[in-house]
Structure 1
Amino acid sequence: MKLLNTVSELRTYRSSLSGSVGFVPTMGFLHEGHLSLVRRSTSDCDHSIVSIFVNPTQFGPNEDFNSYPRDIDRDLAMLEAAGADAVFLPAAEEMYPPGADTFVVPGKIAERLEGAVRPGHFKGVATIVLKLFNLVRAQKAYFGQKDAQQVAVLRKMVADLNVPVELLVMPIVRESDGLAMSSRNTYLNEDERQAATILYQSLKMAESLIESGEKHAETVKQKMAEFISNEKLACTDYISISDGDSLAEQTIITRPALISLAVRFGRTRLIDNLILV
């Protein structure tokens, strides 16, 4: 497995490849969700490149950029075992040289949900992902469904800017009790970790209500909020039932629909979602 630290090294390596290339962008501290993307890439493509970069431009001033979990040696061992051919591991100065001030500004789809709570977040995401797409020049790029709004923003960017890459979205990988795997789960203490199971439980409750015939989005969201409020360690940021593509909020639930939520447990903020097709 090749380790690439600079843009120049990545470009040289990419030029040496023939056949199809798959790409998995990550911020590291990998878990089974990430590895499922890598394994899918190695199954689909002749070559698989993974990036590890904790992108400073997608973190707000009071967010966890400095404390975001990092363990490069562990990550590299996991990626090699998963079959990655190369890992791009740049420094921040490599991706944002002094004087860099050009950014991708996504549209209305990035202003809702996470975008409303974390202003500028998707500007940072779209910018770094487009830079990586330009460097890796992959035919296929792999993302997890857990970051549903990120996927929607990037799909819109790829379509609007005519980026020649196919986005493939893989299912959420969950712990045995339903909690979506996330690098930020490591922030949770034992009690918070147990409480965090309320996210998936509330999503499944909503799904059951809708399958039983409830069509009013506000009714479902209210019942989810009441259910979550029974967990004293949980503090809800938002609950959404939206169109699966535009993320516009629904009044009467029509499919495909995205049920998504963000909930805080102490200092840790977790997101999760479920798609109704």
Structure 2
Amino acid sequence: MGQLEFMKIFVRVVEAGTITLAAEQLSMTKSAVSKRLSELESNLGTKLLNRTTRSSSLTEAGNNYYNRAKDLILEIEELNQDITSSNKTLEGKLKVALPLSFGINHLLPFFNAFLKAHPRIQLETNFCEYQVDMVEQGYDLAFRIGNLSDSTLQARKLVNIEHCICASPDYINEVGPLNDIKQLSKLKYLKYDNRPSEQITFNHKSGVRTVLLNSYTSSNSGEFLTSLAKAGHGFVILPTFILWKEIKNKSLVPLFSEYKIPTMHGYAIYPANRYLPSKVRALIDFLTQCFGTPHYWDVY
């Protein structure tokens, strides 16, 4: 095993956080990874990691070596890709995390087309509403909606996410005329759990308006809340990519359309300190081309 391979193993251990996780991601045994690290330290004549049975931490020399090694690995692999990518068929495992509602309702057709174009890709997907730890769990790519606060991740914006206030015609008839957005505070709010607060800020041509809402029920499923709203249990504030069919068939009616929740975005994200394989880059480029503007779910 050459010096570059030793460096790759060391970098993977640092980024995974433990030898056990690094071994899983590298498809090696834990003992083999430990042996390679010991050989690397022996070759360098210095200790790079303080290791215990449960965790490891960088020494000062290890931190310096890690920062230089990851840049060198990236430079070498980018050089290799530049030389070989034009003639190389995309293949191998591609592990991706996708949000449940958006992934199933809007991304599946695009992944179908991508896999038809690249049949040797082995796609592994995890549909979930929580944020995965990309490095620790070995994900190549994730689609994330909302604000990005993790500085260890790189991102490319793919879509704009708009929201809409909606209720059923029966519920609107039940509560009577709605003329002021402050009236929402007296109605039954079907709250989406990804919103941390019941206090919602809206943008309006007259200025910013903030309304404290009365949460009647809550769920982490936008589809479940949509069904409750259609049945007349209250109003929802949800992304249009969830509500668009109900708005089109008029089972839900937009309210206070002149009041806008600030636009959110959907991103393709990937670890910042990891070489981006050609198959991941190809998928990001493909998804970027798939989303037109305006998005079809915003045309109703």
| Structure ID, larger Rg | 2
**Which structure ranks higher in relative contact order (CA pairs < 8 Å, sequence separation ≥ 6)?**
2
